[in-house]
Chain A
Amino acid sequence: MILKKILLKNFRNFSNIEFVFDKNLNIITGKNGTGKTTILESFHFLSYTKSFKTNYDTEVIKKGNNYFQIFGEFFDNNKNTHVNLNFTEKEGKRTFINKKKLVRKIDIIGKYPLILLSPEDQSITKGNPSVKRNFIDKIISQIDKQYLFNLVEYNKRITQRNYLLKTYKINNKYIYDEYFESLDDLLITNAKTITQKRNKFINDYNPIFKNELEKISHFNYKSTINIINNIELNEENYFTNYKNKLEEKFVKDVKFGRTSRGPHLDKISILFDGIDIKKIASQGEHKVVLIALKIAEGMFLQNHTNSCVIYLLDDLFSFLDSEHCVKIINKISSENQTFVTTTSMLHLNDYLGIINHLNFNEICLD
């Protein structure tokens, strides 16, 4: 699937503009604040009906207007699909697919899958474990609704449990009673499914990630994604094992008002030769690993959904050496439609190799 063209009206700094895209590589250039990321943001609206930068749709309307409009033309399986998204302050957001009004948001989300790399994503490799958990949870949820259901239930039950722990503290009740047992029985059922599926995912995803990282980098490290389950996955004894731990920690949990054991504390790390990259990797190495994670995400989704993803690489070239840039661009754009933003073509001219043998479409906003 590819995005053929897009038309923006009153969208951030654009009043009325049309862009036509290449089916492989599109490089968007322009000075700071000319709207490079804005173009990527409009794609995100078409695919997920919302921005990746803000939760407030009114913020993206061009100043002095009261509506915005995004019109996109996708090409898939030899036919064109027109997606039209309108937002007015009065009527809110409405999406039309081939002029037919979309009733449920769920019918479009994931239909045109995008893999977005934005500078903020660097926290996936650099940030705390929760960012990594969110990253993989989001991938699994897209292909496995049962996982999503169990994850939502689990998180809500943890909220309930923590709240109840606090109530028990106020009432000075330190007894692990039937009420807690009931909450925990159900919590553990969700936790088991989450742990099983997470571990299976890491197993399947690891070779793809490793393979992609080898293709785009010149590192000599042996790289892996590692998961340490907070409650070890032991098929037969998982239930009793987890429950004993919750009972054991109960008094402490009441004191602190939070649940100290469970998959919400699973530790996921990325290792170079067995050492966490947080300790040893440079800025550039972090960036290359992040890109490999994103490419692997795209490959994984493609394998499971049979639809081609589109890569949006915002500010791709920062921190990367020329060799990495060439390898990444060659790898991605040969198989998928790719959008790259950069402040200047000077960067690219340095890598004449790319320009000479690769066709691409330059969209200059200056």
Chain B
Amino acid sequence: MSIIPESLIQVIDTFANFPGVGKKSAKRMAYYLLKSPRQESVNLAKAIINLKDRIHNCSQCHNISETDPCRICTDPKRDKTTLCVVEEPMDVIAIENTGNYRGLYHVLGGVLSPLNGIGPDDLNIQDLLHRIVSIKEIILALNSTRDGETTEVYLSKILRNNNLNITRLAHGLPIGTNLEFADETTLIRAIEGRTNIL
């Protein structure tokens, strides 16, 4: 028998399942809740239930949203002829934070990954094909990982014959870093993708 009460163990085990949280951190978080006022726990519980009840996937772009279609898809000021394809909802937030992109999004919900058994049917690719009728340019903004690259090539193949301009993000050096700290692969890509000045 453990000396920790069962209800506390339950909370610790739940926290320990979170990404980036180990057993020790989970314990500290659970003790914190135990010591804090009851209202704080009630608020937390309510917030979590709200999260699950209110947030859905937008039926058009598959981004997370409280409305369907989402606010980006219904925004009249958005350029409806440009579509940016990303892996996860978090990527939409990253690009939105730049404030520079005014087109629409499409969230794939992952990338092709043979070893994890994720094939084209497991991603939101059919919906993407339905959406392209009114689209002129597709920007593939996937992570530059092995699986991300495979997915980029795959998408460019199945989208090819639709009279679309298909682009992908540039590979290269992060702004404000020193050349000497860049890894070789990034540098090679940056040299290959060099551009003319003026």
Contact = CB atoms under 8 A, between A and B. Distances in A.
Contact of B114 (A153, A161, A178): A161
B169 interface: no
Given A178-B158, A181-B157, A186-B150, A159 B119 contact: no
A149 B114 CA distance: 20
A211 interface: no
Interface string B149-164: 1110110011000000
A146 B188 contact: yes
Interface residues of A, number: 19
Interface in A246-300: none
Interface residues of B, number: 17
Interface string B85-100: 0000000000000000
A161 B154 CA distance: 14
B146 interface: yes
A282 to B, nearest CB: 43
A149 B150 contact: no
Nearest to A156: B146
Given A145-B185, A149-B184, A163 B115 contact: yes
B19 to A, nearest CB: 24
Interface string B104-131: 0000000010110101100000000000
A146 B184 CA distance: 7
Nearest to A184: B153
Contacts of A159: 115
Interface in A217-264: none
Given A160-B115, A160-B146, A163-B115, 11 more contacts: A145-B185, A178-B154, A178-B157, A178-B158, A179-B119, A181-B153, A182-B150, A182-B154, A182-B157, A185-B153, A186-B149
Nearest to A144: B184
